């Protein structure tokens, strides 16, 4: 959503509405300065600073106040405690700090000196110099909030680098310069100081205005969390305003330096419970780790089983917290529940059967909303444009990186092994992204589910309007197809003649130039099958973001040509055919590359007889990686015919025989010992150099024995 024009927004902004927030910001900063006077900082002891030393809520060290005790100044909550530069681990009492320091005292002296130097630099008008202070380089949010407390006259309560970039871009309307973090802070301040519309405003008021005017809303997450077995904790969670999960053998998620440290601790704690099955351990660890990523405004769906929705709630407060006072289920997230969502899904969500925490896709979210028992305010039209983001459906996690890449580069390539959903993702993105930005077109439903008639109608409507163009490259595809060239056309006497014809991309660019208010998307399937330097020709330079709008002379037509800012290109690339390392270097430099790896999550909880499809995919790919490489793996789409997990013995057997086996045989180059290493000797006859002729039931049983039972035992 584009923000209002700045002049209109300044006139419409009601500063009196934010008087309470301004007072709260001032009081919060004063409270911190009272507990931690600036003159005490040069000799401040580590115990007064760091988290992890017992009951921080009562001892209230500086880092606790910054993260949890000064919300009015803006949040730096979430993520791990490494953002505080030094902290004590709750598991064993050891200290985490930069490994260059010999011990915690040496680390603390460096960190403390760095914080003092940063505030001093800000007070002296040298904010950009903070980027050179090595000891605090890894804690930019902590330093930025500290500046707001101790140097409020020269600093802004904006702590995220992406948020600073967002505000600079929208205030200037120009590309954001490539500056380090605090140099960009200084640039934002310069822009504000130079704007006479903010002449009599405090920096705090300007920040409140910026968030009101063009809130850089992060992509809202929606996750489902089961409150105990069969909803056993639901009453407690509903009444207490939280959601809780177990896995209490690993304590506070924020006490881990990073995800790798957490995964190692989880594997140690739960190896026996999951029989040493690494893929299962990793999947469960990822479920728990998901909680620490939840932020205020994200949504939590409380479910019982695969069909019943108990409520939907909005994450509030600090989001995730470890509650030592609870007897069990100590990993919690603060949630404001709305039971008007209680109801039953028309069709069970099978993947919920064996998972506690799981992302909710836009499609499933639509089904949940349709199952609501009572209308709520979320169903009403939004009257305040500033609040529109609160009711927008989030992009799925798989689509967000693509949206960000296109915003950053203008073109991106989805690459990965076969069956990982590259084209599927590109078309889903087209429907969702273009659909929301093309509300002027009839027949467009941006939330249509793949496979539904509305999804195809939306693609057709976007294509008919010229907003979406899909092409497939192949060895015979050339410049004349993509840009311009001579083609045989019917002549006046009924014969054929050669005439210059505009290619696909040139026509899209011409349409986009005439309609700058709408985006135009080109999806190129099988990008790597074409001769890319030949196809793009001189246009490859114009794809760069800073070259958009520049003109080149087309050699054939002698016309001036430009690639407009509102043209975007998404390509797909199967790495089993060709590695990205084989691409022309000029092409690689101009595209963002997003890897699409196999994902067993859509298959979790889905079985064919006793065979768990997620385990089948994980075990098979583990063997392929061990003997070949990651680019030759098998994608989840093979097991999702028509978008739903295969659920019959005959269906699975047909997929394995007709689709997966030929691919593996191609990988093995008639090396049947390698094929047996993938699938086992129950399926592969090493002596006869052939695949055994098994019944459907026999094939599924062999897969179960080899890739679920044996693989689990080995792991």
Looking at the fold, whether 404 and 494 belong to one and the same domain comes out as: yes
Place 570 in a pLDDT band, splitting at 50, 70 and 90. very high
291, 356, 619 from 278: Cα distances, Å? 21, 18, 10
Where does the pLDDT of residue 474 fall: very low under 50, low under 70, confident under 90, or very high at 90 and above? very high
The 10s digit of each residue's pLDDT in 121-169 is 999 999 999 999 999 988 999 999 999 999 999 999 999 888 898 899 8
Q: What is the CATH number of the domain that holds 250?
A: 3.10.590.10
- Looking at residue 603, its pLDDT comes to 87
Tell whether 550 and 657 lie within a shared domain: no
**pLDDT the model gives residue 365:** 85
pLDDT digits (tens, 9 = 90+) for 11-33: 889 899 999 999 999 999 999 99
* Shared-domain flag, residues 606 and 590: no
Is there a single domain that holds both residue 180 and residue 37? yes
pLDDT, mean of residues 185-189 = 95
Domain boundary pick from 167, 193, 213: 213
Read off the tokens for 204.
């705090």
User: Are 335 and 364 in a shared domain?
Assistant: yes
User: Are the CB atoms for 574 and 520 separated by under 8 Å?
Assistant: no
Residues 432 and 580 in one domain: yes
Scan for tokens 């404001």, then name that residue: 336
Residues 75-92, mean pLDDT to the nearest whole number? 81
Does the pLDDT at position 654 exceed 70? yes
Q: Which residue from 685, 642, 683, 627 is spatially nearest to 660, judged by alpha carbons?
A: 683
Whether residue 1 is contained in a domain is answered as: no
pLDDT at res. 468: 95
Tell which of 564, 595, 626 closes a domain: 595
Q: Please state, in angstroms and rounded to a whole number, the distance separating the CA atoms of residues 183 and 164.
A: 11
Inter-residue contact 537 to 594 (CB < 8 Å) = no
- Domain co-membership, 366 together with 425: no
Do 416 and 273 belong to one domain? no
Mean pLDDT of the region 284-293:
91
In this structure, the strands spanning 331-338 and 299-304 are unpaired
| 145 contacts 76 by C-beta, under 8 angstroms | yes
pLDDT, position 643:
80
More confident residue, 404 or 234: 234
- pTM of model > 0.75: no
Which structural domain, as residue segments, surrounds residue 317? 222-390
Verify that 418 and 498 share a domain, yes or no.
yes
Q: 411 and 544 in contact (C-beta within 8 Å)?
A: no
Question: Final residue of a domain: which of 333, 360, 390?
Answer: 390
One domain, residues 660 and 519: no
Question: In the chain, pLDDT over 70 holds for what percent of residues?
Answer: 93
For residues 568-578, average pLDDT = 87
In total, how many domains does the chain have? 4
pLDDT of residue 450: 80
Tell me what the mean pLDDT of segment 196-204 comes to.
93
- Residue 114 in tokens: 């760095």
Bridge-based pairing of strands 611-612 and 607-608 is antiparallel
Highest mean pLDDT among 22-31, 207-216, 441-450, 601-610 belongs to 22-31
What local confidence, expressed as pLDDT, does residue 392 receive?
Answer: 47
Average of pLDDT values for 471-490?
Answer: 88
Same domain, 551 and 409: yes
pLDDT at position 383 is 35
Report the CATH number that the domain containing residue 559 is assigned in CATH: 3.40.50.300
pLDDT at 374 over 60: no
**Is residue 480 in some structural domain?**
yes
Q: Are residues 379 and 408 in the same domain?
A: no
Least confident of 157-161, 362-366, 575-579, 661-665: 575-579
Classify residue 395: in a domain, yes or no. Answer: no
């Amino acid at each position: 959503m584009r923000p209002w024009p700045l002049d209109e927004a300044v006139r419409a902004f009601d500063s009196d509405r934010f008087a309470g927030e301004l007072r709260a910001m001032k009081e919060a900063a004063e409270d911190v300065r009272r507990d931690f006077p600036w003159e005490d900082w040069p000799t401040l002891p580590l115990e007064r600073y760091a988290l992890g030393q017992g009951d921080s809520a009562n001892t209230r060290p500086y880092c606790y106040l910054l993260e949890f005790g000064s919300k009015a100044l803006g949040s730096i909550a979430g993520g791990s405690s490494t953002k505080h530069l030094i902290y004590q681990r709750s598991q064993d009492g050891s200290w985490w700090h930069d490994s260059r320091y010999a011990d915690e005292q040496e680390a603390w002296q460096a960190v403390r000196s760095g914080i003092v130097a940063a505030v001093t630099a800000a007070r002296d008008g040298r904010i950009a110099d903070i980027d050179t202070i090595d000891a605090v380089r890894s804690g930019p949010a902590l330093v930025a909030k500290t500046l707001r407390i101790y140097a409020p006259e020269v600093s802004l309560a904006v702590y995220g680098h992406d948020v600073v970039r967002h505000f600079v871009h929208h205030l200037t309307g120009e590309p954001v310069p490539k500056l380090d973090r605090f140099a960009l802070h200084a640039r934002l301040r310069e822009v504000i100081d130079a704007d006479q519309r903010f002449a009599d405003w405090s920096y705090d008021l300007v920040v409140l205005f910026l968030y009101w005017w063009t809130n850089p809303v992060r992509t809202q997450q929606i996750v489902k969390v089961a409150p105990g077995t069969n909803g056993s904790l639901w009453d407690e969670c509903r009444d207490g305003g939280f959601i809780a999960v177990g896995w209490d053998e690993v304590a506070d998620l924020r006490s881990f330096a990073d995800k790798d440290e957490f995964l190692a601790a989880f594997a140690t704690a739960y190896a026996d419970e999951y029989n040493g099955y690494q893929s299962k351990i990793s999947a469960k660890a990822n479920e728990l780790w998901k909680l620490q990523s939840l932020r205020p405004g994200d949504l939590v769906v409380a479910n019982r089983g695969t069909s019943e929705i108990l409520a939907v709630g909005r994450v509030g407060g600090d989001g995730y917290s470890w509650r030592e006072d609870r007897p069990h289920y100590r990993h919690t997230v603060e949630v404001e529940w709305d039971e008007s969502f209680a109801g039953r899904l028309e069709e069970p969500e099978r993947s919920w059967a064996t998972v506690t925490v799981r992302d909710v896709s836009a499609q499933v979210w639509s089904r949940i909303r349709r199952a609501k028992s009572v209308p709520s305010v979320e169903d009403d039209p939004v009257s305040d444009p500033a609040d529109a983001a609160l009711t927008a459906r989030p992009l799925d996690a798989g689509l967000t990186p693509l949206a960000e890449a296109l915003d950053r580069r203008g073109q991106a390539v989805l690459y990965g092994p076969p069956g990982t959903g590259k084209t599927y993702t590109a078309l889903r993105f087209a429907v969702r992204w273009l659909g929301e930005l093309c509300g002027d077109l009839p027949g467009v439903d941006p939330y249509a589910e793949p496979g539904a008639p509305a999804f195809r109608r939306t693609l057709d409507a976007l294509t008919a309007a010229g907003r979406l163009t899909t092409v497939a490259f192949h060895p015979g595809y050339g410049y004349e197809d993509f840009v311009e060239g001579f083609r045989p056309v019917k002549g006046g006497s009924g014969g054929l003649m050669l005439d210059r014809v505009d290619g696909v991309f040139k026509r899209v660019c011409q349409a986009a130039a005439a309609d700058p208010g709408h985006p135009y998307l080109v999806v190129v399937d099988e990008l790597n099958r074409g001769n890319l330097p030949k196809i793009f020709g001189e246009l490859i330079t114009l794809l760069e973001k800073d070259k958009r709008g520049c003109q080149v002379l087309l050699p054939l037509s002698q016309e001036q040509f430009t690639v407009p800012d509102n043209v975007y290109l998404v390509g797909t690339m199967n790495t089993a055919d060709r590695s990205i390392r084989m691409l022309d270097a000029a092409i690689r430099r101009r595209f963002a590359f997003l890897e699409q790896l196999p994902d067993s999550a859509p298959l979790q909880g889905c079985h064919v007889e006793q065979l768990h499809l997620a385990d089948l995919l994980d075990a098979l790919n583990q063997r392929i990686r061990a003997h070949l490489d990651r680019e030759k793996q098998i994608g989840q789409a093979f097991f999702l015919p028509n978008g739903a997990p295969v659920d019959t013995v005959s269906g699975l057997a047909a997929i394995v025989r007709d689709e997966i086996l030929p691919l593996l045989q191609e990988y093995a180059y008639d090396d049947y010992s390698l094929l047996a290493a993938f699938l086992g000797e129950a399926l592969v006859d090493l002596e006869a150099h052939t695949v055994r002729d098994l019944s459907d039931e026999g094939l599924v049983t062999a897969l179960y024995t080899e890739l679920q039972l044996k693989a689990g035992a080995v792991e």
